[in-house]
Structure 1
Amino acid sequence: MRRIDEAEVEFADVTFTYPGGDTPALRNVSLRCPAGSTTALVGPSGSGKTTATRLIARFFDIDSGELRIGGVDVRRLDPTTLLDEIPIVFQDVYLFDDTIEDNLRLARPEATWDELREAATAARLDGVIERLPAGWQTRVGEGGAQLSGGERQRVAIARAMLKRARIVLVDEASSALDPENEAAITRAIANLGADPGRTVIVIAHRPATLEVADLVVSLDGGRVVESGTRGNCWARVGRSRG
């Protein structure tokens, strides 16, 4: 099994149907996410956005076509490497009932304090830490209950940065966020994508996220219906976002 040498992600005529399903979740999908880019996936519920990210992480294997990471068929890559180098930032992030520091150190236990602070700042988590009663040593509660959903996502993004992950998959929170959290998460996603060695693929629910994307891919019914820069896709996104 091989490791990831480059962070480019490419779907080549990919079709996939969930086990037991009758209708393909993705149909003949072709798209390319260049290394060092940020790609926003948009489209209505059930369009195939989440399925695409699950296939990249190899939760499932495709039925036909080819899915390549760094030019290599994902099925030829070491599964441990996929888990290690492709973290997923879910909408509802689960945190351990431990301190902020220890929740971040799960990504890299040997990280220095400077590295922890740098990741927290880039993920816009530093302001949250400053407000907490015990700062870095504040316990977040079971599942992270002491933090809001947007704050938990910032912790997950900080972990991805600390891990120095090559590819990061983000399912941007679609529930109501206050303006501060929305702006912070948008900025954190932009900072994720600022590393030329990292590829970010985000399931985007908010127009603000498209402002930091290099490429917008619109999906509908499991097919790519449009792709291009955010300006070219804006009209389509406005009709299909959901």
Structure 2
Amino acid sequence: MGKGFTVVVGQHVKSSVKCVVANVYSPCALNAKKTLWEELSNVKAASQESIWCCCGDFNAVRSRSERKGVRGRNDQAREIFGFNSFIEYMSLLDLPLVGKNYTWFRPDGTAKSRIDRGLVMEEWLLKWPMCKQYVLRREVSNHCALVIKSVEKDWGPKPFRSIEAWFLERGFNIMVKDKWKSFSVQGNKIVKFKKKMKLLKSDLKVWNREVFGNLHTTKRRIL
């Protein structure tokens, strides 16, 4: 633990990957931010782990466009330079942002900024390449909650595929009917249908090899 950050080393349950998560709550003063950046950089340099995620309220932006309606910041240019230098030195990458462009809002709506973010090392993205940071609705704070997650679309089971040549083969339809009648499965009609389709798929693979052989090899020979 340091002033403004907590570092946790743990194991991701589903993948058993060992990783590091640094939760940041940065002070407002630029000198205090610099101290936090330096201390956190030293912690990472001494770490043996390569899969890192730094997330939280950094109280700093990477460009002027990430702050709107905030005036009187004479140190903004130095803050931007220092924060980007810290990110580069740590070899961190800014995850894609989903939901909103800003994460902090003044209650009266006159100012907004993106001072909360999730930064990861390249090794993190090699493990979870679909990882993004999602900005949620504000509930009890001026800050929006951030959720870092890897979303991989599950389109369900693979479709049942067939080859047109099968239906031209003599005896194919009779073989399918006989196989279908021979399957003995339990459950309601939908469950039975699903189980029979799975069994039929396996038998068709065997039948295809015996009758047609390897279609890819055959195709290459013909060409």
- State the TM bucket, normalised to the shorter chain: under 0.3
Q: What's the TM-score, normalizing by structure 1?
A: 0.25
Greater Cα radius of gyration, structure 1 or 2: 2
**Higher normalized contact order (CA 8 Å, seq sep 6+, divided by chain length):** 1
Q: What's the TM-score, normalizing by structure 2?
A: 0.26
